[in-house]
Amino acid sequence: MSTGVKHITSECNGALNAIRDTLYVLSGKWKIQVIVLLRDGPMRFNELQRSLVDITPKVLSKELRELEMNEFVERKVFNTVPVTVSYEITPYAATLNPIIDSLREWGTQHRARIIEHMKQDGKQPA
């Protein structure tokens, strides 16, 4: 007698686990955006906050700590008065470049597709 439940192959389960790990590390609205900004060079906290519209200082601090913990971002403290802190991506963060580039490409295509459908439906794109 069949229970109607499909069993997942070990290959599929392995893929799901890897994707879960990736999403856990990069989840949220801000992490990838922070990495993209830092690909252009080191930035200070306030520069990041100004560049990321609508992020609160508390959330930015949390995101930077998590990115640092996962070895994507390095926090550098300079012995100045007042103390200067900057953030930069690590060489390990460069392993995300193909993923980020693919997301950018897909996002561009998706936006164009949605805009085209909205035009066909007589709606104004946002």
- Domains of the chain, residue spans: 29-120
Q: Classify the phi-psi angles of 54: left when phi > 0, otherwise alpha if psi is within -120 to 50, otherwise beta.
A: left
Candidate CATH numbers 1.10.10.10, 1.20.1440.120, 2.160.20.10, 3.40.50.300; the one for domain 29-120? 1.10.10.10
Three-state DSSP at 35 gives: helix
Peptide bond into 82 cis (omega under 30): yes
| Edge-to-edge order in the sheet of strand 73-78 | 43-44, 84-89, 73-78
Tell me the pTM. Answer: 0.82
Phi, psi of 80 (to 5 degrees): -120, 170
Q: pLDDT tens digits for the chain (126 residues)?
A: 556 667 788 889 899 999 999 999 999 899 999 999 999 999 999 999 999 999 999 999 999 999 999 999 999 999 999 999 999 999 999 999 999 999 999 999 999 999 999 888 877 766
